[in-house]
Amino acid sequence: MINRELSVFVTSGSGLSKNFLFDQGPKIFLAPMEGVVDHVTRDLITGVGGVDLCVTEFIRVLDQSIPDHVFFRDAIELTFEQRSHTANGTPLLVQLLGSDPKRLGENAARAVELGAVGIDLNFGCPAKTVNRHDGGATLLKDPRRVEAAVRGVRDLVPQTHTVSAKTRLGFSDKSLHREIAQAAEAGGASWLTVHARTRDEGYRPPAHWEFIAAMKDAVKIPVIANGDVWTPDDYKRMLEISGCQHAMLGRGLLARPSLALECKGLSEMWTWGQVRPLVSQFVKSSEAARGPRFASSRLKQWLKSLSLTYTEAAVLFEKVKRIETLSSELFEKNATW
């Protein structure tokens, strides 16, 4: 339960260091994933190591101010002693999704007052309901709207705080990819993250890393490459083809928690023996956060991801499902007593 009194934490604290992307070499970001990468997962994955920054699940901005408790719910790290950082000290950006520049700006300014070290703007969400309400990837159809949205936020957020944009290569086709990058830069984005697919391509392989290279060539701001990195070898190829120094990893990190460490040459792939304690910790923390039903559904979700790397996770997944079936059968029988 989020305590509304937490709003006493309002602050005008400092943002990410200006040199964040330029200090100490290549950076790896944990991708925002709605319904997956909540604070429990952020804590766990950043705790493994190798991740330099993470981003909240998107928070939708419609025509009203977002209540403080929503910010605290989706970015509980704002309430930690070291605001807007995970338990191990990894900075967290608050991601907003919307289309009205003024509303986006006002809500971004509020997130910063509450302690966010920076704001990320979502121009990539492919969900039909979101796009129908003029949000996410819809704005890619007209790069001027990307520019206006970024500017609306940049104008109201202190210069000490980063404002970044996360896009795809386009909506239905890739014809505007360079214009999209230039629009984000013109609006004042500190950097741009590109998921190397159009909205219509959804999550279908392959990711078109070569288009990221063209977007990078079109702007001076740093570009972060994203899409379909499952192994250190994919990481290397993505950076080579895109010409980028920095990467964002999503599903690959969930399937292989040591992936960021491996990409940086800091570890071999973790064994199941190393990963298993994380699974127990994950269940405990998810249950403490939102109760047993939530924990069990998140456990199955994560085990499915881990199954891509570890056969032991697939076995555990089947066991959990079996236990659930047995207990619901028992419950049904009890109900007829």
Ligand X SMILES: Cc1cc2nc3c(=O)[nH]c(=O)nc-3n(C[C@H](O)[C@H](O)[C@H](O)COP(=O)(O)O)c2cc1C
Give the span between the Cα atoms of 1 and 289, in whole angstroms: 8
Structure tokens at 312: 């032991």
Cα–Cα distance measured from residue 210 to residue 242, given in angstroms and rounded to the nearest whole number: 5
Among 2, 6, 7, 33, binds ligand X (CB under 6 A): 33
125 is catalytic: yes
For the CB of residue 319, give the shortest distance to ligand X in the complex, in Å: 24
DSSP 137: G
Range in contact with ligand X (rule: CB under 6 A) among 9-17, 29-37, 208-216, 287-295: 29-37
Segment near ligand X (CB under 6 A), from 38-46, 78-86, 247-255, 303-311?
A: 247-255
Pick the closest to residue 59 from 11, 112, 120 (CA basis). 120
User: Which amino acid makes up residue 52?
Assistant: D
Residues 191-210 that bind ligand X (CB under 6 A): 195, 203
Contact between 147 and ligand X by CB under 6 A: the answer reads: no
Q: Which is nearer to ligand X, 13 or 78 (CB)?
A: 78
What DSSP designation does 8 have? G
Residues 142 and 288: their CA atoms lie apart, in Å, by 43
Distance in angstroms (rounded) separating the CA atoms of residues 124 and 96: 11
251 in contact with ligand X (CB under 6 A)? yes
Please list the alpha-helical segments (H only) found in 166-291: 177-187, 209-217, 232-242, 251-255, 259-263, 272-290
122 sits near ligand X (criterion: CB under 6 A):
yes
DSSP bridge partners of 166: 122, 193
Does position 50 interact with ligand X (CB under 6 A)? The reply is no
Q: Which of 124, 143, 188, 257 binds ligand X (CB under 6 A)?
A: 124
Give the number of residues in contact with ligand X, rule: CB under 6 A: 22
Binding residue (CB under 6 A) for ligand X from 46, 84, 190, 226: 226
CA 51 from chain centre, in angstroms, equals 12
CB of 324 to ligand X, least distance (A): 22
Which of 51, 117, 249, 283 binds ligand X (CB under 6 A)? It is 249
Catalytic residues: 125
**Residue ranges binding ligand X (CB under 6 A):** 31-36, 57-58, 95, 122, 124, 166, 195, 203, 226-229, 249-252
